[in-house]
Structure 1
Amino acid sequence: METTTASDAELLAQISSGDESALRELVERHSGWLLLRLRRRAGDDDLAATALQDAFIAVWRQAGRYRGEGDVGAWLWGIAIRRLISCLRARPAPLALREEVVARYAGSALSAEEQLLIAVEHGDLGDAMARLSPELRAAFRATVLDGLTTKEAAQLLGVPHGTVKSRIRLARMHLRRDLMEGLT
C-alpha cells in the first residue's frame, strides 16, 4: 500500500467517512509503538495484541469523536490503554514470582535497570501492586515507574488530571498499608 501525505487528523476524518485505506494507513503509522508500549504495560504479548486490535476497532467506530485537540498519537494511546485496562479486568491476577525468581535473574547479564524492574515487579512491591485495581495500578505505573508527570499521565490514560492525582494518592495509601502489613 502506498502511504499518503495526509496528517493523522485528516486520516481520522477519512476514517469517520468509512475509508478503510485511511484506517490501514493509521494502523501502519501507529501500531508499532502502540504495541511496544502495551506490551511493556501488560507483560503479555497476546493481551497487548488484543488490546491493540480492540483499540483500532474503536477508532474505526468512533473516529468522529476526535475533537482535533492535541496529538492524534496521544488520543490513540488513551484508547489503547483503556482497552488494555478492560482486558486486564477481565482476567484473573497472575501469580506473583517470589524472591527466588528475582535472585535467579539478579546474577544474569541483565542491566541494572532491568534487574531493578524485575525486583519491583516480582518482589513485595509487585505483589502489593498486583492487588491494586487496574486503574490505580495504571496511574501509579505511569507516574512512579515511567516517570510521567500527573498531567502527562492524565493525557496518556484519558482521564482528568485530578483523577490521576486521586488514583496515585489511593495507590500509595494501599501500597503503604500492604507493605507495612508484610513487615509485621
Structure 2
Amino acid sequence: MNSPPETPSAAERPAVTDAELLTAHINGDPHAFSEIVKRHRDRMWAVALRTLGDPDEAADAVQDAFVSAYRKAATFRGEAAVTTWLHRIVVNACLDRMRRKSVRPVADDELIEAAERETPLPDQTVEREVSMEVSAALKMLPTDQRAALVLVDMMGYSVEDAAQVLQVPSGTVKSRCARGRAKLAPILSHLRNRTDLNRVSSAKGDRTS
C-alpha cells in the first residue's frame, strides 16, 4: 500500500502570502520563516547598508533583525504589511547600533566647512563613487533624519509608508527629510547632475505617493 503524499509546507505551496508564511511559522512550519528571509533579505540589507554605511555593521544589523523577527513573530498583529513590520525591525536594529556607538552628528558649521572643501568629481567617476560620497554624507546626519531619508529618498518609500516603519506621524517624516536634505545640500551640491543625488538631496518636494 502506497503511503499518502506528504503535504507541502507553506513555503512550498504557490502564491503564499507573507502573512500566511508568518502564520505557518508561528504554527510550527520549519520552512516558512526561511522563505520570508529569502524573499526580503536583499531589501532589508539595502536598507541597513544605506542607513549604517558599513557592510559589516549592516550584516550584523540584518542578522539581529531577522533573529528578533523569528522570535517575536507571534507579536505580529496584521495592522501593517509583513514587509513594513520587517523594515521596522531592521531600522530599529540599525538605530540601536548607531546609538550604541554614540556617533555625534556633525554640526551645521562643520557641514558648511566640508562643503567648501569639496571639489567636483572627474567626469569618469563611476556611480559607485557617487554612492560612497552620499553614504559618507548621510553619516553626518542625526539618526532620525538619516533613517527617514534612507526610506523616502533612497528606498522609494512614500512618506506614509515610512511613517509606519518609523512609527511616527507623516508630518514628522516630512520634517526630518526636509532638515536632512537641507544639511546635505551644501555637501552634495557638486553632484547635482548625477543620478544618485536625486535619491537623497533633491529638495523638489516630499513624496506623498
| TM-score, normalising length: structure 2 | 0.61
Give the Cα–Cα distance (whole angstroms) in 1 for the partners of residues 25 and 122 of structure 2. Answer: 48
1:7 to 2:23 alignment:
no
Task: Determine if contact 1:150/1:165 at 8 Å carries over to the other structure.
Answer: yes
Give the Cα–Cα distance (whole angstroms) in 2 for the partners of residues 168 and 37 of structure 1. Answer: 16
Q: Deviations for 1:12-47, whole angstroms, at most 9, x for unmatched residues?
A: 112233444222221122112211232233221111
Shift in CA distance, 141/106, structure 1 to aligned 2, threshold 3 Å: farther
Offset at residue 51 of structure 1 (A): 1.0
Give the Cα–Cα distance (whole angstroms) in 1 for the partners of residues 135 and 34 of structure 2. Answer: 35
Q: Among residues 107, 124, 145, which one is paired with 1:136 in the alignment?
A: 145
Offset at residue 73 of structure 1 (A): 1.6
Paired AA for residue 169 in structure 2: P
Percent identical pairs in the alignment equals 31
Residue matched to 1:87: 97
Shift in CA distance, 36/147, structure 1 to aligned 2, threshold 3 Å: closer
The count of corresponding residues between Structure 1 and Structure 2 is 167
Give the Cα–Cα distance (whole angstroms) in 2 for the partners of residues 64 and 117 of structure 1. Answer: 38
Task: Determine if contact 2:26/2:73 at 8 Å carries over to the other structure.
Answer: yes
Q: Among residues 18, 36, 44, which one is paired with 1:26 in the alignment?
A: 36
CA RMSD of aligned residues (A): 3.6
Shift in CA distance, 106/158, structure 1 to aligned 2, threshold 3 Å: farther
1:38 to 2:54 alignment:
no
Shift in CA distance, 10/120, structure 1 to aligned 2, threshold 3 Å: closer
Paired AA for residue 126 in structure 2: L
Gap runs ≥5 in structure 1: 180-184
Q: Which has the higher helix share?
A: 1
User: Could you say what secondary structure the match of 1:10 adopts?
Assistant: helix
Give the Cα–Cα distance (whole angstroms) in 1 for the partners of residues 156 and 42 of structure 2. Answer: 22
Give the Cα–Cα distance (whole angstroms) in 2 for the partners of residues 28 and 149 of structure 1. Answer: 24
| TM-score, normalising length: structure 1 | 0.68
Structure 1 stretches of at least 4 aligned residues deviating more than 3 Å after TM superposition: 17-20, 92-96, 101-109, 114-122, 129-132, 140-149, 165-173
Residue matched to 1:182: none
